[in-house]
Amino acid sequence: MSSEPRDQETHGAGDERPIPSDAELSEMSREELVQLGGRLDGVEIVEYHDPWPVKGTRAEKRSERLVAMWFGLAGLSALAFLGFFIWWPWKYAPPTPGDGQDHFLYSLYTPLIGGTLGLSILAVGIGVILYTKRFIPHEVAVQQRHDGPSAEVDRKTAAAHLADAGSRSTIGRRKLIKRTAGFGAGTFGLAVGAYALGGLVRDPWGGPEGEKALTTTPWQHRQPGEKVFLRRHTGNFEEISLVRPEDLAAGGMETVYPFREEDRHDHEALVHAIKAGDAPVMLIRLRPDDAAHVVKREGQEDYNYGDYYAYTKICSHLGCPTSLFEQRTNRILCPCHQSQFDALQYAKPVFGPAARALAQLPITVDPETGYFIATGDFPEPVGPAYWERES
Amino acid sequence: MTTRPDPAKAGKRRFRPQRRLQRKLAGALALAMALVAAGALYAVFVPEAQEARADADPTLLREGEQIYNNTCITCHGANLEGVEDRGPSLIGIGEAAVYFQTSTGRMPMVRQEAQAPDKPPQLEPSEIDAVSAYIHEHGGGPERPEETGVDLQGDNPARGGELFRTNCTSCHHFTGRGGALSAGKYGPNLDGLDEEVIYTAMASGPQNMPKFSHRQLTEDEKKDIIAYVQSVTDGNNTPGGHPLGGYGPMPEGLIAWIVGLAGLVGVTMWIGAKR
């Protein structure tokens, strides 16, 4: 079947009857106007099935009630949502067996408000769809469609129209405008791109620590001879709890953070010391018979204090927290990629993708106060490798 | 000039013998008081002897030794000194460790493997008391808490949560679902545990778990951690009705795709259906 005859056919479809005059239009009924509109677009309504040809049957009433029920349910459950949202006990109550009732009521809060609001919008949707299915007449309409490209005459004229608009605008010979427009729009595009991506560009050396940002940690002494204590985190940043050698049992491990006496009343500094990504240190107390087999790294022979060894918690592979310390095997496991470090051999990697040992923090006990202090920063950068790193 | 005796001097002379007596009495009294005070202070400040179990009930100890010889001796040795490649020494592990290991069924072990799993306890509670007393007698160590059950739950589960996330989450997951360790070992799931079991585990550091002494985590902090653990385990943290394993976005995403998408397809088909 060639496209040409069909094309002619569709073109001709609207011309079967001429467009009625204004006088004729005013005479036409609404039904005739609907048919005329369809015919002008090449649409013919074949069947216009009325779902309820006999009015007022019991089945029709039943359908009406069904739709009304869904809308009513939507309203009631929205009302229930408002009630639960305003009056239900939403504050946390722990599940202690004594007053478990409070916890039970609290635990229902989220499901109740979610369920009621969700049921409400679902019921509105079901009601609308049911109404459409039960009461809107199902029409069957036929519209002719044409195959292939538009007629040659349409394509030629449309192309000529566009070319004409281009040449009449005289943009072709106005080089100044063309270039400035290119400059303006192009630079604007660049600005939008910079706006979108600029926030992702960061200078790792640009912070207040300058070039030392990646090589030093908050354990770095600000002045020579400064005392940097080891503190534990009790959940309260202001509660300073320092660590003494008798605090940990053999086979114990504790995460510690730097603390300086000058920061005691500086909330910002206290929070930063605990939240800083490179600050957490695992303070490990080996069991004495294991400590007898320790192999120390060259140059780090005096970094430990007795059975106490302090290693960074930041994995040397990709910087995950390696705090899975196994006290019988003395292995430190990183949960991200299963690197394992041997706490008896300066935390050198014994399994997995990590290639460098965990950096060790030099510690000792402050003779004046009896608390642990760090005698200096880590001897090497903590965490994963970066371009400028030499080891 | 008349010489009149100085009244003050005369008085002194007159009362001297009496004053000496007074001074002696006062001295004796002060000494007595100081002794009493020192004794009282001593009684207040000197702690109970660490080996308080020295006066444990001898019959209990004998019973404990009997149970030890029947169930533990193969791996831990005749004198609790441990057996090479079988079991560690039990000297100084304390009654907390014995209670934890036996009441969760980890000990006695079925076989040597990466980690002793929990199973129904093999010893009766009275046998556990006896064998803990016997082992605690040798070297002391972490003790069982004075309270049991709900009394071991602190009143600040929020602080317990902070401490749990700092100290425990790396192995036990932040709502106690557990997780893998190296070479077949694992941090166990914390569902369905007795408060005393959690307490003694923290105090004694069973198997590869680090030991958390009372100076590192105070008893109050341990109780808050217990309150937190009990508030997120045993289905107490499933407002959606089902925890889906509690592992976060992986199973939840899978369910959302399978159940949610299938539901949407069904609804779409219903919308398009004739009736």
Q: Do B181 and A326 touch (CB under 8 A)?
A: yes
- Roughly what angle, to the nearest 10 degrees, separates helices B157-167 and B219-232? 90
Question: Which residue of chain B has the CA closest to A106?
Answer: B239
ipTM: 0.74
Q: Do B171 and A324 touch (CB under 8 A)?
A: yes
Which residue ranges in chain A fall short of pLDDT 70? 1-17, 96-100
Q: Do B212 and A351 touch (CB under 8 A)?
A: no
Q: Do B211 and A327 touch (CB under 8 A)?
A: yes
Q: What is the pLDDT of residue B16?
A: 58
Residues of B within 8 A of A354 (CB-CB) are none
Q: What is the pLDDT of residues B237-265, one digit of tens each?
A: 777 778 888 777 888 899 999 999 999 99
Q: What is the pLDDT of residues A141-151, one digit of tens each?
A: 888 777 888 88
Boundary of a domain, candidates B120, B139, B158:
B139
Q: Are strands A331-333 and A324-326 parallel, antiparallel or unpaired?
A: antiparallel
Return the structure tokens found at A236: 């309260």
* Residue B260 belongs to a domain: no
Q: What is the pLDDT of residue A104?
A: 83
Asked if residue A350 lies in contact with residue A342, where contact means CB atoms within 8 angstroms, the answer is yes
Q: Does B131 lie in the same domain as B187?
A: no
Q: Does B220 lie in the same domain as B153?
A: yes
Give yes or no for A103 touching B (CB within 8 A). yes
Q: Does B159 lie in the same domain as B129?
A: no
What range does the domain containing B76 cover? 58-139
Question: Which residue of chain A has the CA closest to B149?
Answer: A97
Asked if residue B127 lies in contact with residue B62, where contact means CB atoms within 8 angstroms, the answer is no
Considering CB atoms only, which of A138, A234, A321 is closest to B163?
A234
Residues of A within 8 A of B205 (CB-CB) are 249, 251-252, 327
Q: Does B64 lie in the same domain as B121?
A: yes
* Residue B11 belongs to a domain: no
* Residue B261 belongs to a domain: no
Asked if residue B112 lies in contact with residue B28, where contact means CB atoms within 8 angstroms, the answer is no
Q: What is the pLDDT of residue B29?
A: 82
Boundary of a domain, candidates B108, B139, B170:
B139
Considering CB atoms only, which of A321, A323, A326 is closest to B208?
A326
Q: Does B106 lie in the same domain as B66?
A: yes
Q: How distant is the Cα of B238 from the closest Cα of chain A, in angstroms?
A: 8
Q: Does B122 lie in the same domain as B171?
A: no
Q: What is the pLDDT of residues A263-274, one digit of tens each?
A: 999 999 999 999
DSSP annotation of B235: T
Q: Does B163 lie in the same domain as B190?
A: yes
* Residue ranges of the binding site of B for heme c: 72, 75-76, 168, 171-172
* Residue B221 belongs to a domain: yes
Nearest 5°: phi and psi at A365?
-105, 135
* Residue B268 belongs to a domain: no
d(CA A250, CA A290): 10
Residues of A within 8 A of B215 (CB-CB) are 244, 246-248
Which residue ranges in chain B fall short of pLDDT 50? 1-3, 5, 7-13, 51-53
Q: Look at the alpha carbons of B8, B11, B17, B21 in this order and tell me if their dihedral is positive or negative.
A: negative
Q: How distant is the Cα of A330 from the closest Cα of chain B, in angstroms?
A: 8
Give yes or no for A145 touching B (CB within 8 A). no
Q: Does B157 lie in the same domain as B220?
A: yes
Residue by residue, DSSP assigns B123-162 as S-HHHHHHHHHHHHHTT--SPPPS--GGGGS-S-HHHHHH
**Paired strand residues for A311:** A282, A360
Residues of A within 8 A of B221 (CB-CB) are 234
Q: Look at the alpha carbons of A316, A320, A322, A324 in this order and tell me if their dihedral is positive or negative.
A: negative
* Residue B265 belongs to a domain: no
* Residue B65 belongs to a domain: yes
Residue A364's Cβ-count burial label (10 Å; 0-12, 13-18, 19+) is: middle
Considering CB atoms only, which of A107, A235, A248 is closest to B216?
A248
Residues of B within 8 A of A253 (CB-CB) are 210
Asked if residue B141 lies in contact with residue B94, where contact means CB atoms within 8 angstroms, the answer is yes
Say how many domains are in chain B.
2
CATH of residue B67? 1.10.760.10
* Residue B272 belongs to a domain: no
Boundary of a domain, candidates B139, B160, B175:
B139
d(CA A323, CA A114): 38
**B-proximal residues of A, 182-241, CB under 8 Å:** 232-236
Asked if residue B145 lies in contact with residue B196, where contact means CB atoms within 8 angstroms, the answer is yes
Asked if residue B219 lies in contact with residue B212, where contact means CB atoms within 8 angstroms, the answer is no
Give yes or no for A250 touching B (CB within 8 A). yes
